[in-house]
């Protein structure tokens, strides 16, 4: 968008009069009161929302008109808190077009139109961070109800997980001394039925008698003479 205004006839001649480049956010329209104020002193106002084009216009105008005026061009930043690279544009203009005048406009301050001071760029960046943090908070509340996840829910009880290390002491539950639930829901011998950290699923039952003791017992029972009232006596 580009607008032109004459400054009460004082801008006669190709080398006289100020030129203005007005940089504004794409979603923000150029304020009418700002255009009216600038048109009283500036011969031509060029409004644009591309920071690169605005910077190039300032540098080209300053270079072409540096022989005709002490201040050949004015750069006006509209609502710089909403311009992501406002500070970079100001820094680059000061370096490459040092004779350009730098102004800024905001409807939230008084006066609304003023020259750019040294601390202004830092204030713009801080304002942008505050707005960004607020937007992030609002988005988090709208999506998930909170941007932070609590350690435990309001009605959630913390759980203690005891892992089997394969050795050492184990957790013993009252009322479950003899059996407990295994990983697959099957019943297996409880911790008190194991010895030395053995796996209950692979534990074998120890027999009461060894095979040798069993053979000795059976042999003794077979070789024992049968006695009783019906036994035949050879001495009779």
Confirm whether 32 is domain-assigned.
Answer: yes
Q: Which carries the bigger pLDDT value, residue 86 or residue 208?
A: 86
Are the C-beta atoms of 86 and 124 separated by less than 8 Å? yes
Confirm whether 146 is domain-assigned.
Answer: no
Task: Provide the domain count of the chain.
Answer: 1
Q: Domain limits at 55?
A: 2-118
List b or e across 41-62, with b for residues whose CB sees 16 or more CB atoms inside 10 angstroms. Answer: ebbbbbbbbebeebbebbbebb
Mean of the pLDDT values across residues 223-235? 51
- pLDDT of 60 reads 93
Nearest to 18 by CA among 1, 6, 36: 6
Query: Distance between alpha carbon 210 and the CA centroid of its chain, in Å?
Result: 68
Mean of the pLDDT values across residues 71-77? 92
**Looking at the predicted structure, is the pLDDT value of residue 127 above 70?**
yes
Confirm whether 138 is domain-assigned.
Answer: no
Confirm whether 214 is domain-assigned.
Answer: no
The CATH number given to whatever domain includes residue 112 is: 3.40.50
Instruction: State the Cα–Cα distance between residues 162 and 183, nearest whole angstrom.
Output: 13
CA torsion angle 173 175 177 179 (round to 10): -100
- pLDDT of 66 reads 80
The first and second tokens of residue 121, run together, are: 């760029």
13: DSSP letter = S
Q: What is the DSSP string of 118-180?
A: TTHHHHHHHHHHHHHHHHHHHHHHHHHS-SS--SS-TTPPP-------SSS-----TT-SSEE
What pTM value is reported for the model? 0.51
């Amino acid at each position: 968008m580009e607008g032109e205004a004459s400054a009460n006839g004082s801008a006669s001649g190709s080398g006289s009069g100020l030129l203005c480049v007005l940089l504004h956010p794409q979603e923000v329209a150029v304020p009418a009161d700002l255009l009216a104020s600038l048109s009283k002193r500036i011969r031509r106002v060029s409004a644009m929302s591309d920071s690169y084009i605005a910077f190039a216009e300032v540098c080209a105008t300053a270079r072409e008109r540096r022989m005709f005026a002490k201040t050949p061009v004015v750069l006006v930043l509209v609502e710089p808190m909403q311009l992501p690279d406002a500070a970079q544009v100001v820094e680059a203009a000061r370096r490459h077009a040092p004779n350009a005048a730098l102004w800024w406009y905001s409807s939230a301050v008084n006066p609304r139109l003023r020259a750019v001071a040294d601390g202004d760029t830092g204030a713009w960046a801080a304002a942008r961070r505050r707005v960004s943090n607020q937007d992030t908070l609002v988005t988090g509340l709208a999506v998930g109800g909170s941007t932070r996840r609590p350690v435990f829910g309001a009605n959630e009880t913390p759980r203690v997980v005891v892992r089997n290390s394969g050795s050492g002491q184990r957790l013993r539950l009252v009322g479950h001394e003899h059996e407990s639930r295994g990983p697959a829901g099957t019943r297996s011998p409880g911790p008190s039925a194991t010895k030395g950290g053995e796996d209950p699923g692979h534990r074998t039952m120890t027999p009461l008698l060894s095979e040798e003791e069993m053979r000795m017992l059976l042999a003794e029972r077979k070789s024992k003479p049968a006695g009783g009232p019906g036994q035949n006596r050879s001495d009779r």
